[in-house]
Copies of this chain bind each other. A is one copy, B any other.
Amino acid sequence: MPSNSSNAKKKPPVTATPARRRELLDTAAEVFAAQGYNATTVRRIADEAGMLAGSLYYHFDSKESMVDEILSTFLTELWAGYDAVLEAGLGPRETIEALVTESFREIDRHRAAVAIYQKESKQLAALPRFHYLTDSQTKFEKAWLGTLERGVADGVFRTDLDIRLTYRFVRDTVWVAASWYRPGGQHSPEEIARQYLSMVLDGISVVT
């Protein structure tokens, strides 16, 4: 059979062209992040994508399944990064540094998804199909809180602070950044991570 034979029967992907899906999801994510999930109309997304509202349903089942795919894709990638860090056998401080850096990288790559996650995950998690958000949340807490506790035990983190307060502090500190971060801005994700870490670890006041 000649090598250029045009692929005989290329079976059409059940889920339509993945590339088109991704494009549309990126558009949708941008709008969701800017306006909020509820306030975003399907028509607005379609406008932005240059098609009619109904046409989106050729690609997706529902508005809900769009956020679903946006969030689950993001979380999958996030955990790929986190798991790599957590399995690297680093000390607590280095783990925190790596997690924070990885987080800012994710914000850089998935700004819209992160913003959506921040704003909508609590609402969405109430729906059965979004239970994975809660699972991820739990796993997330285990990873960060565990690392912080290990750090306290090892004497690298302060013992005079409420550990859960510290956890929330560090966690929020990183992720709210998604609300103002713009990719291609003045600082690279790594630089932002470096400065945030410096603040979180050493404080903003001058040591006297």
Contact = CB atoms under 8 A, between A and B. Distances in A.
Interface of A: 35-36, 38-39, 93, 119, 123, 155-158, 160-162, 165-166, 168-170, 172-173, 176-177, 179-180, 186-187, 192, 195-196, 198-207
Contacts of A200: 199, 203-204
A206 B157 CA distance: 5
A158 B205 contact: yes
A129 to B, nearest CB: 17
A165 B179 contact: no
Contact of A36 (B38, B168, B192): B38
Contacts of A168: 177, 180
Nearest to A169: B199
Contacts of A35: 123
A203 B203 contact: yes
B157 A195 contact: no
A62 B151 CA distance: 52
A186 to B, nearest CB: 8
Contacts of A177: 168, 172
A179 to B, nearest CB: 7
Contacts of A158: 204-206
Given A36-B36, A38-B38, 9 more contacts: A155-B206, A156-B206, A158-B206, A161-B198, A165-B192, A172-B176, A199-B203, A201-B203, A202-B205
